[in-house]
Amino acid sequence: MPDMPRHNVGVEYAGEHIAVSLEFRERKRLSISVHPDGSVTAIAPAGRPMDDILAHLRRRRAWIAKQRRHFEKYQPLPEEKRYVSGETHMYLGRQYRLRVHRSDDTAVRLVGRFFNVCVPTPKQPRAIADALGTWYRSHAEPLFYDHMNRCLATATSLRLVDIQLRVRPMKRRWGSCSKAGVVTLNTDLVKTPLHCIDYVIMHELCHLRVHDHSPAFFRLLRRCMPDWERRKGRLELVVLR
């Protein structure tokens, strides 16, 4: 199915105009996301009348404004990474400094508190970024599999079997799931603390039982992970570039 165009809409709250980037997809429910940079996006079911969507956004405008105020505490956002020696990069919630070396072979090693990156072209940020990205992906996949199995072992009441896990870059979300039992996790999640990784995994596993953010979903999530709010709060402090 071809990509559908985005629409720029908005809501008013306390004298402020809040812009919302709206996208239509083949889905059943409308979702709203507030991002660390203060931007707001919404995904609506294809064919849903615009009047219904705007009415829903107006009902949620107080929550949208509250989320935007929350993220204001963490401004300004970190600068874009330049991939030069001395720059810090995250892994499992800890900062590591980058050391870039010239080498005929490309390799990344985590040594102490340093990422040692060897590339043939050390002055080309793209080459360093690609090497680091490959390293993150190779470490993320087995770790995510292990922690998904741990979450399943602690939440046997979910009675989930044959869960498929996919790992890929995602611009706006830490994770997602499908009704077919596929859980997709953002590669960058490996940069966050382990207890945050477990929260995202458990969140998506619970969505395989309850597909929306209804009270029933949050009751299930609390049963499976009683301290999920603390973990979510820590995750919200993570702003990746």
What is the rounded CA–CA span in Å between residue 56 and residue 201? 28
What pLDDT shows up at residue 70? 79
* Residues 196-218, mean pLDDT to the nearest whole number: 93
Mapping DSSP to helix (H, G, I), strand (E, B) and coil, where does residue 82 land?
A: coil
Mapping DSSP to helix (H, G, I), strand (E, B) and coil, where does residue 99 land?
A: strand
What is the rounded CA–CA span in Å between residue 71 and residue 86? 27
* Residues 131-145, mean pLDDT to the nearest whole number: 97
- Does residue 163 carry a pLDDT above 80? yes
Mapping DSSP to helix (H, G, I), strand (E, B) and coil, where does residue 207 land?
A: helix
Q: What percent of the chain has pLDDT over 90?
A: 70
What pLDDT shows up at residue 74? 63
- Does residue 1 carry a pLDDT above 50? no
What pLDDT shows up at residue 149? 94
What pLDDT shows up at residue 75? 63
Q: List, for residues 86-127, the tens digit of each pLDDT value.
A: 999 999 999 999 999 999 999 999 999 999 999 999 999 999
Strand 88-91 relative to strand 94-102, pairing: antiparallel
Residue 19: HSE in the Cβ half-sphere, 13 Å Cα cutoff: 7
What pLDDT shows up at residue 80? 83
Residue 166's H or E segment, with its range, is: strand 164-168
Confidence of residue 240 (pLDDT cuts 50, 70, 90): low
What is the DSSP-derived secondary structure letter of residue 59?
A: H
Q: List, for residues 31-58, the tens digit of each pLDDT value.
A: 998 887 889 999 999 999 999 999 999 9
Confidence of residue 237 (pLDDT cuts 50, 70, 90): confident
Q: Which pTM value belongs to this model?
A: 0.75
Ordered domains of the chain (ranges, CATH): 7-72 (no CATH), 88-235 (3.30.2010.10)
What pLDDT shows up at residue 62? 93
* Residues 221-236, mean pLDDT to the nearest whole number: 93
Best mean pLDDT range from 3-12, 30-39, 76-85, 223-232 = 223-232
* Residues 13-36, mean pLDDT to the nearest whole number: 89
What pLDDT shows up at residue 76? 60
Structure tokens at 27: 């889905």
